[in-house]
Each structure stands twice: as C-alpha cells, then as structure tokens.
A and B are shown apart, each in its own frame.
Chain A
C-alpha cells in the first residue's frame, strides 16, 4: 500500500510540476496574446501541443462568445480554463487574463466541486446542465446554471464548452414567489384566483378553511357553487367590473360553505392582467365577517329592541345634553307636547313646561346629583292642555365614564291628581254624609227612645187602665146576675152571660197584645236549650186541654238548640196548642213532633191531622189578629202565630207551614241547632233517625 501511495505521490508531484510548467508557459503565452505580442498560444495536450491563435478559424465564435450575456468558457477535461468571455469574468469578479489557464473548479462551492468534475466527464459524452454557485471574491455565491457540452479540439481531442447563466434574478423571483405563496397559503383569508368564466385556478388554505372545500375539490370548478341562490347577479356584476378593469372594490357578500352554512364575507376582487394589460382572470381575497355580522346584528337587534321599548313607553322620555338641549325623544313626548320629534330635538328642554325655571333647575339638579326622583312639573301642550307629571331622571355616561347627558322619564299623574281630587271630594261628601247620618241616627235614636218610652207608657196604660173597666164590667155583671137573678128572665141572664164572655175575650186580646209587645222589647237570653225538655213542659201545661180527648202524641228525639228558653218554650206552646185546637174534630188527634232536614238545614216540625187550612191564605197565617177559622168553630185572638213568627225571627230563624184543607198542617221551624255544621253534624242526623 505504502509503495503504491508513494508512487502515485511521486507521479502526482511530477504531474504538478509539469502542469505548473505548462501553466507558466500558458500564462506567458496568454499575456502575450492579450497584449498582442503574440498571435497564438501553444497548449501541450496528451496528443501533443496545440496552438491557439486569435486569428484561428474559431475567431467568429470567439466574438460571439464575448458578446453573450451568459458567462462562457472553454475548459480542458480537467477543468482548466482555456478561454472565458468577459461576462464570466465579471460574474467571477476576476480579470479574464487571470482566469485563462487557471482551473474553473475552485470557483465552485466546495460541496459542488466533486459533482462538477463528474459532470464534466459526463459532458464528454452528452450535453449536461446543472445548477451551482460561483464563489466570488467580493460578493456572495452567485447562483448559476451551468451548461456543459463537449467540443472537439483539432489536435488534442475533446474539450468542454461551459455556459453559466446568472440565476440570481430568477432565484429572487422564485424566493419571492415562494414567500408570497407561503403568505398566501398561510393567510386565514380565502385567496382565490379564477378565470373570467369563474373557474377556480388557485385556492389557498384560508379558502379551504373558510369554505370547507379542499384545493383539489375546487380548482377547475366554477366558483358559482359558493354563491347562494339570488347572489349570482351580484357575482356577474363583480366580474363585469373586473373585465372592464375598474378599480378594486370591497364587497360584503354572502357565500355558502360546503356544509351549507351561509357566511358573510368581505370580498376584495382585483383583475389579473397579462403583461399586455389584458384581463385574463380575477383574484379575490375574502375575509370571513360572519362573527362581526352576527355581533352587528345582535347590536342592531338590541338597539331596535331598546328603541321599540322606548317608543312603546307611555311615559314621555327625553335625553338632554348639558346645556339643556333635547337630544332624543320618544313618541309620547311628541304627543304630550304636540311638537314633532324633529322640532323637539335640538330645542331647549325647559321650553315645554309651565315653569321653565323649575324645569331648568330640575335637570341641573340631575347633572349635579346624578338623579332626581318624582320631580313635579307640568308640561304644556301646544293646544294649551297642561299635563301634570313627575320626572325621574338620571345621568348617562359615555364609554369613558364621562357624563354625556340626562335621561328623563315623565310619569303622567293627571289621572292620579284627578283621582285624588275626586277622592278628596268623595271623602268630604262622605264626611258630610256621615255627619248628617250620625245626626239623623241620633235624632232617630232619640225619637225611637221617645217612641219606646211612649210605647211603654202605652203598654202600661193598656195593662192598667184598659183592664180596669173590663174588670168592672165583669164584676158588676156578675153582681147583677147574682143579686138580680130572681127578677131576671132567661133572655136577660143570657145577655149578662154574653157581656161576661165578651169581657173575657177582650181581656184575652189585651193579654196577648201585651205579650206580643213585650216580645219586641224583651232581651234575648240565648243559651243551649234541650227541646225535649221544653216539649215535656209544654205538654204538661197542655194536659188540661187534652183532657177527655183522644190524642196520640208522636214525639221524636229532638236536638239542643241555641236560644232563649222562655221564648222557645212559648213557640212550642203556641204550635202545640194550635195543633191541639185544630185537631179537636179528630178521633184520635195525631200530633207529631220531630226533626228533619230542609235544604241542608235542621228543622223542627209539628204535624197534626187537624182541619188544616187553604194555602192561598198562607200570607195571612202569621199576621196579627188574622184568623183562618170562624170564632164559633175555633176560638182565638189571631195573635199566637204572630208571636211564634216574631220569636223565631228574633232568633234569626224561619217559620212556615204546609197544609191542605181537612188534611192537617205541618209547621216548620228552623232554629239554631247546637252542634250542626260545627261539631257533629252526623250525630245530629242520627238523632233524627
């Protein structure tokens, strides 16, 4: 290994020395050529020396090469520059003279050098092309495209023709394009290119996100699938503008996403022109403004809602600026003032009140304190009509928290005031009425007291003074009958008897009347009464009357009632004695006493099988001194049932009767039964059964 290495090293050194020698020779030659000292250079090649002269047949190509815009050189297969044009020298920033005879390879970036030598070998077979960078002394690497092709040398075989095209401009464009592409692609805005027919030619990431279609789905498709029904006309108008090259405009339009959702976009459309200025398509940048639109809609809705509330308010509402100028009003304000909105706004708030000064100090107070509550003012309508109002006002502030104005709401209190007046009037008249009434009551009470007193006196007089003559008549008739008996015939005796009977009857009438009168004045002493006990007492009292008669008493168990025991007993006595009286023709007389329920209420009844009465005289039944039977058939004064009714009424009860001539009668009395509807209604019912 070592020997081989050594050998190749020796050989290489020899080669290097040879090349250096050749190079020095070439340099001298080239210098001579450049300076014009020589006409030709001789280059030693493997196939012997070659001579290059300016006047060689290659002269026309050399001139062409010098004129080229690309860098050009001819190289040996090893890379030595045999010729280079000025453009290449410029590109390398080295004088052309220095380049001749030097190797081209060191002018490439290190990493490109190996590849280049390989490429040179390939170029000997076929033309090749590659990109690389030329290392320059002063500037940075210059991107170039290198084209290599073999050229035959006359004597020494093949050489390489190299053309270097400056790529820096193109690279810049490419980089800019790439950067732009990245920007376009990373934009959230949808950036879409399309032909004038609306066929999509480019579709960025923003468009994919915004519309939901991928670039693959959209490119080549019509953009119209994004346009909602009814939006095509707008679209056509936009395209028309673009075609005419009109200035770029911004449009707010609605577009449809792939998922069908409509979105609001702000669209900027610009024409795409060819170098010639001909419009070949359009590009659009769309910004999704749906969220903004929604927010805007919300605000608009909220504001519409607020406004409608304000307008709907029956209270006149105004806003006032610091100097007292009205800045806004609602419909109620127009109505109450009779002035239109346009006129109101900008006018002085205090102009519309009966007391402008008071109105002014009112809003000044609001600015000073922040609010007023129930501030009374009177609004004057253009017609002169005055509306009493109470103002409630507060300041409102702008976003910076500064007081911007006063918001004032008036409450119409005309109705309230009128109501107050009416109430006061009503109260006054009520007071007056009350006073009158009280006085009248007093008078009446006094009158009544006097009447009562009179009545008492009357009763007393009746009791004493009317009875006395009766007593006397009876007494003397009796004495007469006694003492004159032997001298009297039968007719006279009968007449005396009639006198005494009449006196007796008159006396009974008086007695009953006094009783009835006493009932009206007597105080009720209500307490629970056992009706069974009272019935027992009454029956005992009636025993003499029932004597020698066939009477069948049917007495059911009766309840306790709440009432005056004495008066209740009187009721039972009168009813039972009536029953006894009117059953006199019956054998047996049947008298039934019991309890029943009428219209849900406990009722006591007394039923007999007596002569009864005609119901058409019902209204007379309980009347004072009213009798439905002849005196010779059934004696009586016509007071008993009147007494019954008075007592029952005074107890808050009711008495009525049902009868038919010759078929008996039933008297019903509704009294206040103890326990019913209170403690044990069921027990009361059972008691009946």
Chain B
C-alpha cells in the first residue's frame, strides 16, 4: 500500500510546474535586494547602506521566522482566523505535493517565504533614515507573525476571506495592503525625520531608483506568474498582465507628470512601474488583458493623487509605501469585483459581467485588511516603544545612519583612513604612516 501511495504522490508532481516554481521563487527573492536598491536611491547618501540593510535584514529575520512559525500559522489547516502549529519548524513539509498543487510542499513553502520577506522589507520604506536597526529587526520578526501570517492565512491559507469568496491572485491583501497600511502606522508611531518639512530631503541616486524598479518588475513576473503554482492558464494570464498593466501605468504617469510639472520625471517613471505591478498583483489571473490595461491606466490616478498629497502633510511616510502599495493594492482588489471574467479565470465574474456579489466580497477585504494591518502594526510598535527607543537621536540622524548603525560609509573617499592591525596580544596597532 505504501509503495502505491508513493507512486500516486509521485504522479501528482508535475515537472514543468515544479521547474517554473523553482525559477519563480528565485525571481521573487531577488525582488528584496532590488527593493533595497530602489529604496537606497530614494534616500540621502548618508543613509544608503542602512536603507539597503533593512531589506537584507528582512531576508534574514523574516526568512527564519517564516520557516520556524510563520508558514505554519499562515498555511496549516483552514481555521477561520489563523492556521495551526502542525508545520512549525517545517515539520511534515516534504516533497509530497501540497493539496491543490502539483509542486512539492517544500517548494510551495519557499515560494511563500519570499512573499513574507519582501512584504516586511516594504514596510521599512516608512521609517528609513531614522529608525534604529536593532529594533527594526525585532519589528520584522514580530510583524511577520502578527500581521503577515494572519493576512496570508485569511487570503491564501483557507481563512475566512478566501472561504467567503474573496479573490486575491498574488497578494493584494497580505502583501500590498498589508505593507501599505502598516507603513502608515509605522510612520505615525516612529515619527517624522527631524528635518522633514524644514529641508528638501531629496533622492540621492535616481539611477539606483530606476534600476531597482526595473529589477522589481523583472522579479514580479515570478511573483504574479508563480502565484498560479503551475504553468497553466492563470499563470500565463497573470504573467502577461504583469507586462501590460505597468506599461499602461507608465503612460498615464507620464501624462500626469506633464500636466503637473510640464516634464516627464525619471523617479516618477520608476514609481509608476511599481504602482502598475502592484495594481495587477491581486487581479493578475482574474481579469482579461484588456481590462488589465484599463486597470493600469485608471489605477494610476488615485496613487498619483496620494503621492502628491502626502508630502504636504505632517506624515513622514518617507518612501510612500501607502500610495504605491496600499492604495494600489486596494484599487486592484476592488477592480476584481468589477471586471473579473469567468471566461478568463474559470472561477467567477465581477459586477460588470453580472455578478455583484463578487464586488461585495472584494469590498469586505478592502475594508478589513487596512484596518487590521494599520491597527496591529500601530499596537506592535507602540508596545515595542515601551521597552526600547525606536529611533536614533537627532545627532545620530544628522550624522547619518550608515556610520552610526553600521560603522560603514556607502561612498568612502579612500582618503584619510588609517589601517588598524591586531598584534599578538589581540590589541590593535595603528600602522604608522611615517
């Protein structure tokens, strides 16, 4: 019997699907260093490394926490609010395919891990240039359990939203709205940079920003294209829409830039790429290519409006995670309710095709997710603030987080540094230049 069982299991693995998911997992992991580059270009030069390291730190901490408990809480069983503890420490996560997929369970876990990692890294955009590195790592560990795993269970793991009929192809709920509205809470609790609203705080390297956005877009083909867990039609549809939607967002962003400032900006273009990728993330496998293009064009409008509005407020949500991810994710989730097409997705129609109930399911997620992400993140950081100082001192902030937090300089001049060598007693000798 056991031999038969193994044979049956082996037959369920599809090599093509597995091959694609191996590649897709690597593509999504690459998005986090790409995000580090994107964010590093948007900050001042003295905070380059710290900003990048927040993304690297998310790979470290969220990756470990995911394997230990996060995956289990998100994907063990179909409890309404939270998963079980059956997969803690990757117990029982093996080569046997996960139910409903044709790929090894272990690979499914790894693919989902990369989502948790980049979502935690996204939130750092709200607190760069002033949050201390140590508390940020602790925040990532706790946030990936309290916020990401919970939202992932609701939308992907068989929780109440998925069970109720809400559609989310690649993470509009846990990744995009989860990070965007958490970022707003984090910005409010950590507080504005000391110079915010007093000095012009400008991006220090627009080429990093463009290159980071390009690499993110490249990785997003794995993110959306892999979220069908196969090489089947939903994956092909999501993959292609990941090309079309951001292209439309770019065109509209160009026009909005022209109207507002008479020039098409490079950092605006990089932002538009992100916005377009986020817009299609929830809807990728559910709407036709034509409607995906409409989504890219129309969905750019609210995001652009929030990006213009936010810097006029006292809210130093520094890298506009709310606009680019929260608002775009919100828009994409609702768009499914309007224009999902049974002919294209084989699951459900939206309001436009005669199924008003789908819009209700989507609206419920668009209402509850921001409230949960914002509320839980706010409470978590407030609680952490009782035990430790979340941000660096004004003096440290002025000097820059690279030197203060990491003892390194992103752009050392190479001049004026004196070599220090350990001697036999473990003490240091300063090499004397004379």
Q: Do A and B bind each other?
A: no
